[in-house]
Amino acid sequence: MFKDARHLLEKMPSRDVHDSIVRWTCLVTKYSRGGWVDEARVLFDIMPERNVVTYNAMLSGYVQSGRLGTLDNCGGKWSALVDCLTLKTKRSAEVQGLYTLFRKMPERNVVSWTAMIGGFAWNGFYREALLLFLEWNGNYETRPNGETFISLVYACARIWLPHLGKQLHAQLIVNN
């Protein structure tokens, strides 16, 4: 099935670069969500062009499969995102670069919101993590998950906002 889909994708005529990215991203997303992360990664690696939606689809597949830690050998923006998520960076420029990438994403899901909030919180940008959560919470269809709240409670503890931390903890209990 994997080889057939890839072969078909490579043979399909493309109107432009955007059309090509959309087709490849759809296939990467399908494989990632279907649990075939390794196959999705092969497609991701050979894609002629990628965009933030493609990165998000691939990241989502790794997160859902519990294999986020296996992304260490990736390059470029992907590496910056992984570094941010795995607490390997304390460089302001990298976190701000991720934030710029995050803002350019045409669609955001719970994974991308949580990644950015966690990136802020775990790298010392506590206020930014809380402000981003306030923007997200109630303004979009996606809802925070347990990982989101862990980052938020951590941010509250670091800047000594115990009452807000307790409120967030209560919201987690009510929503999950």
Q: For the segment 28-86, what is each residue's pLDDT rounded down to a tens digit?
A: 888 888 888 888 888 888 887 777 677 777 777 776 776 655 654 454 555 455 555 54
Q: Are residues 64 and 87 both part of a single domain?
A: no
DSSP string, 55-118: HHHHHHHHHHTT-GGGGTT--HHHHHHHHHHTT----HHHHHHHHHHHHH-SS--HHHHHHHHH
Q: Are residues 81 and 21 both part of a single domain?
A: no
Domain of residue 2 covers 1-71
Q: Are residues 146 and 159 both part of a single domain?
A: yes
Task: Tell me what the mean pLDDT of segment 131-158 comes to.
Answer: 84
Q: Are residues 42 and 59 both part of a single domain?
A: yes
Check residue 129 and give its pLDDT: 93
Which residue, among 123, 115, 18, 102, has the nearest Cα to 59 in the 3D structure?
Answer: 115
Q: Are residues 144 and 169 both part of a single domain?
A: yes
Residue 33 φ/ψ, nearest 5 degrees = -70, -25
Q: Domain ends where: 71, 106, 128? A: 71
Which pTM does this prediction carry? 0.54
